[in-house]
Amino acid sequence: MTCLKYCKNKYRNRTAFVIIMMLTFVFLCSCNNNDRLIKEIQELSGCEITFPDGYVSLSSNDSLSVDSLLTKDIKVVSYIDNLPCTSCGVRMLHAWIDEVKEIDSEVAYVIVVQTQEKDVLFENIDSMRLPCPLMYYDTSVFGEVNKLDVLARNKTFLLNKENKIVLVGEPFGNEKLTQLYKKTIASLEEEYSHDSGGMRK
């Protein structure tokens, strides 16, 4: 089955179909490991992400919590598992989150961390000055439940209000993908605003 036929069959919604085709184009133009990337994108796109119980919410800001963010209509989720340096991985997300938040502060940004460096993570949480809370798991339950045995660059997702994956891919250093995230978030905001008569959460 061709990628085009696959997307048409899986995505009845025209907007979702266009988004997936645009994302595939971005990767075709910028990556050498196309086959695995595209296969993973196809398998993940449209899947619902579950947030299992048993996590600890870590934040540099007492007013923010993971629980409050999970109620938002639009969420950007980055999953970090078993990095050599978890604190380094978290800092990598800072610049991009700040950039995307410029278009709408109401979008939820959740960083899911599963690491053996628990003590290091807890000791440095305040100094990280995170713009969003961390969802910490001391086991690999998040990755297992959501079947996230994928390339690291495919562990950042844009979720709609049904927690279904709309976009897949790590946009750090990829201007095309960063812009695609921004445009897709704006499109979802417009859709939800119209559906709710101008009110959205």
Domain-by-domain residue ranges, the chain?
48-195
The angle at the Cα of 36, spanning 33 to 39, to the nearest 5 degrees, equals: 135
Among the listed residues 30, 24, 34, the one whose alpha carbon sits nearest the alpha carbon of residue 4:
24
The alpha carbon of 17 is separated from its chain's Cα centroid by a whole number of angstroms, namely 19
- Give the separation between CA 163 and CA 88, rounded to whole angstroms: 27
Q: For residue 75, list its beta bridge partners.
A: 108, 159
Question: In the predicted model, what is the mean pLDDT of the chain?
Answer: 75
Residue 180 has pLDDT above 80, yes or no: yes
Task: Classify residue 173 as left (phi > 0), alpha (psi -120 to 50) or beta.
Answer: left
Give the Cα separation of 172 and 95 in Å (integer): 9
pLDDT, position 4:
34
- Count CA atoms within 13 Å of residue 18 on its CB side: 7
- pLDDT digit string (tens) for 16-59? 544 554 554 454 455 556 777 778 888 888 899 999 999 988 87
- DSSP H helix total and E strand total for the chain: 8, 6
Residues 50-86 pLDDT 10s: 999 999 888 776 667 888 889 999 999 988 886 556 6
Strand ranges, E, within 39-127: 56-58, 75-81, 108-114
Question: What pLDDT does 8 receive?
Answer: 39
- CATH topology (fold) of 48-195: Glutaredoxin (3.40.30)
Q: Does this model's pTM top 0.85?
A: no
> What is the per-residue pLDDT for 188?
92
